[in-house]
Amino acid sequence: MVSLLHSVIPYHPFKALYVLIITLSVALRGPFWFLYLVPRFLRQHPSWTLRQSFMVQLLKVFLHHTSLVRAHPHWSLLPGAEKERYERISPSEKDVYHGVLNDREIKPVEVGGTWYPTVYGPGDAKRKAVILHFHGGAFVVGDGRKSDFGHGAGLLTSHTDCWVLGLQYRISSNPGCRFPAALQDAVTAYQSLLDRGIPASSIIVSGDSAGANLAIALLRYMTDHPDVLPKPKAALLWCAWVNPGHCLNPKPCSSNRNHGTDYLADSFPEWGVRAYAPAPLDATGPYISPMNHPFRCEGVPMWVQFGEMEILADDIVKFAEGMREIGGNEVELHEDKGAPHDILLLGAVLGFQDTTENMARAMGKWLREKI
């Protein structure tokens, strides 16, 4: 009965009815959740504030039900609120799409990106490099624009001497956008930076959660095709989703030691990996689940951050340790105590502002030493 219900929820009129029921249910239950969490000993983590505990619970419920209705976010390449800071990026005319990017169905397309804090200008003496950032969202939500990544971009620009380009890559909740669409878009954006005269030595690749997975895939692509794209100066990997194939079965998520202290609902990563890597694609392969597939990426120091209380913590540590074991790799592992998943993206919403500031400050110090 439950599986039948889940199979019809994504379709109208069942979707609209389900959204209405859940909205009313959350509105009624929200105050009781808040009151329940007032005593500190009932909170998910003893160091969390009431706001943090309540917002983590609320976001967990929201992501679970968003996953069940299989939301299709609106896709647009119009500037919107970003105005002149938004730019459209055409596929490269150069021969840069090889190997896994040479797909019979999925082809490179025009994408968009938002510049932070201002449009890139080579005459700006204050900023020395460009961070190409890939947003999180399990490959099914997000767009890198101000409403989505504005806070995270602000952290990056305020703690580094860099511009940030937040890429609006194709997300797999939309038709025809499975793997390797996002990786094609990442290559398109990276090549566009090179084409405007920015050397690879002045580019830092960055990503949070699924976006960090995409950043790792881009680095692997550069390693597999060394004559196609030069490697960047460094990589910033925030709460990297390094084992999506593991989420095809949601039970391991619910049994994770940090399941009670993270907002990632079991159904959300499952939706993401099934949309991003549908059968017959191998969701456990190196380009999609890099945790068990370490590779040599010499010359690109990596900042690998994770939250102590997130369900991906053990996977991220395993990935970092595997990469460290390969000669030539340089990996800096940074743990944020008491933090759930992806506070770069959602720290301000969840009430972890102090932790995110300290995290970004530590990253900025590390990055300045590298560039």
Answer yes or no: are the C-beta atoms of 222 and 230 closer than 8 Å.
Answer: yes
Residue ranges of the chain whose pLDDT lies below 50: 1-5, 8
Phi, psi of 56 (to 5 degrees): -65, -45
Question: DSSP 3-state helix, strand, coil percentages of the chain (rounded to 5)?
Answer: 45, 10, 40
- Interval 135-177: pLDDT, tens: 999 999 999 999 999 999 999 999 998 999 999 999 999 999 9
Query: Quick one: tokens of 345?
Result: 């993206």
* Euclidean distance between CA atoms 221 and 200, whole angstroms: 15
Query: What is residue 266's predicted lDDT score, i.e. its pLDDT?
Result: 84
* Euclidean distance between CA atoms 220 and 215, whole angstroms: 9
Query: What is residue 150's predicted lDDT score, i.e. its pLDDT?
Result: 94
Query: What is residue 13's predicted lDDT score, i.e. its pLDDT?
Result: 59
Q: Whole-model pTM?
A: 0.94
Query: What is residue 17's predicted lDDT score, i.e. its pLDDT?
Result: 62
Q: Which amino acid is at 34?
A: F
Residues in CB range of 346: below 8 A, 6 or more apart = 59, 263
Residues in CB range of 335: below 8 A, 6 or more apart = 305, 306, 307, 308, 313
Distance set, CA 35 to CA 24, 47, 86, 183 (Å): 18, 18, 43, 45
Query: Quick one: tokens of 296?
Result: 């040599």
* Euclidean distance between CA atoms 275 and 175, whole angstroms: 9
* Euclidean distance between CA atoms 61 and 58, whole angstroms: 5
The helix/strand/coil state of 303 is: strand
Query: What is residue 10's predicted lDDT score, i.e. its pLDDT?
Result: 58
Query: What is residue 33's predicted lDDT score, i.e. its pLDDT?
Result: 86
